[in-house]
Amino acid sequence: MALYRFENRSPQVAENVFVADSALVIGDVRIGKNAYIGHGAILRGDYGTIIIGEGTAIEEGVIVHARPDDKTVFGKSVTVGHGAMIHNAHIGDFAVIGMRAVVSDYSKVGRWAIIGEMSLVKNSQEIPDEKVAVGVPAKIVGDVNERHQALWTYGKQLYVEMAARYTAPGAFERIDK
């Protein structure tokens, strides 16, 4: 794992968590069990706090930060797509943040909300529970239905399983030493 203490702030990592060696987990970052922190992700808890809920997937290239003495919070079983940026926001349980989406300061994404790829949830914007929002800025375009939940429940379980696979003895090791 690539975990870094910054001054008096250190990451806390629960059991069965995968943190890629190329990820940077810095300072006050609290990662719940069965989470997946992908390759090249940056979680900077240097002067703010980042809380990652149980079973949450922070995919490759995601950037997460928080303002001084504030928090970025991810509920349980959140999926954050490749290359997204989350800054000082609250993301509800089971939410999905699409690839390359931006969720900005003081915004809130509700439980089971889905933010489309490349969308912008702007400063202080709120996306309610079980809504689909897309665009720049993000606008609600529909409701999350059973089909969405079935698809994303499957996808979320894949990353819980991937965290377990990556952390299994001998499964993931550097071979060019």
Tell me the CATH number at 89: 2.160.10.10
- Residue 155 inside a domain? The answer is yes
Rounded to an integer, what distance in angstroms lies between the CA atom of residue 49 and that of residue 4? 14
129-168 pLDDT, tens digit each = 999 999 999 999 999 999 999 999 999 999 989 899 998 8
61-79 pLDDT, tens digit each = 999 999 999 999 999 999 9
Tokens for 51?
């809380």
- Residue 134 inside a domain? The answer is yes
- Residue 174 inside a domain? The answer is no
* pLDDT beyond 90 at 174: no
In contact, 60 and 38? CB cutoff 8 Å: yes
Rounded to an integer, what distance in angstroms lies between the CA atom of residue 130 and that of residue 121? 15
- Residue 175 inside a domain? The answer is no
pLDDT given for residue 173 in this prediction: 83
Full residue range of the structural domain in which residue 130 is found = 3-167
Rounded to an integer, what distance in angstroms lies between the CA atom of residue 101 and that of residue 86? 8
Rounded to an integer, what distance in angstroms lies between the CA atom of residue 112 and that of residue 76? 11
The residues that bridge with 37 in the sheet, in sequence order, are 19, 58
Rounded to an integer, what distance in angstroms lies between the CA atom of residue 95 and that of residue 30? 18
Rounded to an integer, what distance in angstroms lies between the CA atom of residue 126 and that of residue 129? 9
Count of domains for the chain: 1
User: Model-level pTM?
Assistant: 0.94
